[in-house]
Structure formats: structure tokens, C-alpha cells
């Protein structure tokens, strides 16, 4: 087995869940979905949508100031534990508001052939962070911070590091930032974005991404 798709989601992403999970089904790959909604209603909905490999993460709502950080971190580590207990080669994290291209695995295989001594390779999706000026081009760009919205990680790196946050040092830094930090400071591995992978970052009718309204 080569790839495991790891997904963490919440009922706030229900505005795009049909499009998102229809795309996941089209990718024909093993996946795990961790639902960190406060109630079980949403995981029941996912089951009715035909999404079977799901885990409900019962994460306390309080303290509110770290709710989003804890939701993401705990959910990502549930995915990590599942991944490490099986013989997958790469962990492919897709955030549940990111619509990846149908040929995303073909594109990642091209990126892997280009990458040197790599730890993570990400696709473009976040206009507030990624540089879209050369989006769609066959360019592998070295970076210091790979977001986790459409990203593959090597098994070696997932074995080495848990997903984490540090509210005292930087409450604004999410697990992808800390993982990139740990890779940069504790290994000699490289981080890349691959411009050929261009995803759609789906927003709700208010132009927000769900979690922004938590």
C-alpha cells in the first residue's frame, strides 16, 4: 500500500462536503476520516453519504481560545497513529474544504521523481499563502513551510514527529507550521510545493471556510 488519505473534518464544513467526498471516492485510495464535531450527528451524515472509514474525536470545546488548534492537532494525530500501524508509504493529508485534481496522484509521482531528500510535498490551494503566479506549471519549488491542505509526507517523517501546537510560544502557528519547523531544524530534509497541483479552496456562502465561524 502506497498512500493513505488522511482527512479531519467538522460539521462546519457541511457546505462543501458532498463535493469534497465525491472527489475522495473518485480518487480510489484508502482513506481515514476523523470528525471532530461536538455531536455525533455529522459522522452519522457521513455514513449516509457512503463514507465508512470514520472515527469520531470527542474533543472538549473549552478552552475556546485553543479549540481549533486542539481539533486539528488531535485529529491529525489520530490519522498519524492509524497510518503508522499499517504499511503505507506516504501520508496524504487533504483538508475537507480542498478539492484536489483527479490526477493528483499522477502529479505527486512526477513531483517525487524531481524532489531531492524530501520530507513533504504540497499542492497549491490557499491564496492567502501560496504564490499562484506560476500555478499549473511543472515547477517544484523549495520552501520552508508546507501547508497541510493537499500534502504528502514520507513515512520516515511521520514516524519522527507528532503533530503539535504550542500556545505559549505561538498560538497562531498550526501543526503544519510546527511540523515544517521541526523538519527544518531537526533534519536535513527538504520541503517543496509543486505548482502543477492546483486545488480549489471551497468557501461557504459568506465567503468563509467554516472554521472561521467557530
Which pLDDT tens digit goes with each residue over 29-46? 999 999 999 999 999 999
Q: How far is CA 213 from the centre of its chain?
A: 20
Look at residue 199 in the predicted model and tell me its pLDDT: 98
- How far apart (Å, rounded) are the C-alpha atoms in residues 135 and 13? 26
Task: Count CB atoms within 10 A of the CB of residue 87.
Answer: 10
Task: Count CB atoms within 10 A of the CB of residue 165.
Answer: 20
Burial 21-32 (b: 16+ CB within 10 A, else e): bebbeebeebbb
Query: Cis link prior to 147 (omega < 30° from 0)?
Result: no
Look at residue 103 in the predicted model and tell me its pLDDT: 98
Instruction: Tell me the pLDDT of the chain averaged across its residues.
Output: 95
User: Which grid coordinates belong to 63?
Assistant: 478552552
Residue 18 has pLDDT above 80, yes or no: yes
Look at residue 205 in the predicted model and tell me its pLDDT: 72
Look at residue 210 in the predicted model and tell me its pLDDT: 55
Average pLDDT over residues 41-64: 96
> Contacts for 83-87 with beta carbons within 8 Å, 24 or more apart?
83/4, 83/6, 83/32, 83/155, 83/158, 84/158, 84/159, 86/1, 86/4, 87/1
User: Which grid coordinates belong to 150?
Assistant: 493537499
Residue percentage of the chain with pLDDT more than 90:
93
Look at residue 209 in the predicted model and tell me its pLDDT: 67
Q: Tell me the pTM.
A: 0.94
Average pLDDT over residues 206-211: 66
85 CB-near residues (< 8 Å, 6+ apart): none
Architecture of the 3-213 domain: Alpha-Beta Complex (3.90)
pLDDT in tens, 105-121: 999 999 999 999 999 99
Do 41 and 130 contact (CB within 8 A), yes or no?
Answer: no
Do 190 and 184 contact (CB within 8 A), yes or no?
Answer: no
Amino acid at each position: 500500500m502506497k498512500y493513505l488519505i488522511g482527512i479531519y473534518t467538522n460539521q462546519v464544513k457541511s457546505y462543501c462536503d458532498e463535493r469534497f467526498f465525491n472527489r475522495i471516492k473518485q480518487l480510489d485510495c484508502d482513506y481515514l476520516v476523523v470528525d471532530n464535531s461536538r455531536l455525533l450527528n455529522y459522522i452519522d451524515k457521513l455514513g449516509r453519504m457512503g463514507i465508512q472509514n470514520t472515527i469520531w474525536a470527542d474533543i472538549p470545546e473549552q478552552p475556546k481560545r485553543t479549540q481549533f488548534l486542539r481539533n486539528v492537532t488531535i485529529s491529525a494525530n489520530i490519522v498519524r497513529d492509524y497510518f503508522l500501524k499499517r504499511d503505507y508509504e506516504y501520508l496524504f493529508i487533504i483538508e475537507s474544504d480542498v478539492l484536489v485534481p483527479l490526477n493528483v496522484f499522477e502529479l505527486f509521482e512526477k513531483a517525487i521523481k524531481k524532489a531531492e531528500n524530501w520530507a513533504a510535498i504540497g499542492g497549491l490551494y490557499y491564496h492567502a499563502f501560496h504564490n499562484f503566479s506560476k500555478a499549473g506549471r511543472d515547477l517544484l519549488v523549495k520552501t520552508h513551510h508546507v501547508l497541510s491542505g493537499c500534502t504528502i509526507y514520507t513515512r520516515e517523517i511521520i514516524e519522527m514527529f507528532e503533530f503539535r501546537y504550542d500556545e505559549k510560544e505561538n498560538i497562531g502557528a498550526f501543526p503544519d507550521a510546527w511540523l515544517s519547523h521541526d523538519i527544518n531544524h531537526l533534519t536535513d530534509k527538504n520541503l517543496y510545493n509543486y505548482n502543477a497541483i492546483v486545488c480549489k479552496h471551497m468557501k461557504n456562502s459568506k465567503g468563509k471556510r467554516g472554521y472561521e465561524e467557530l
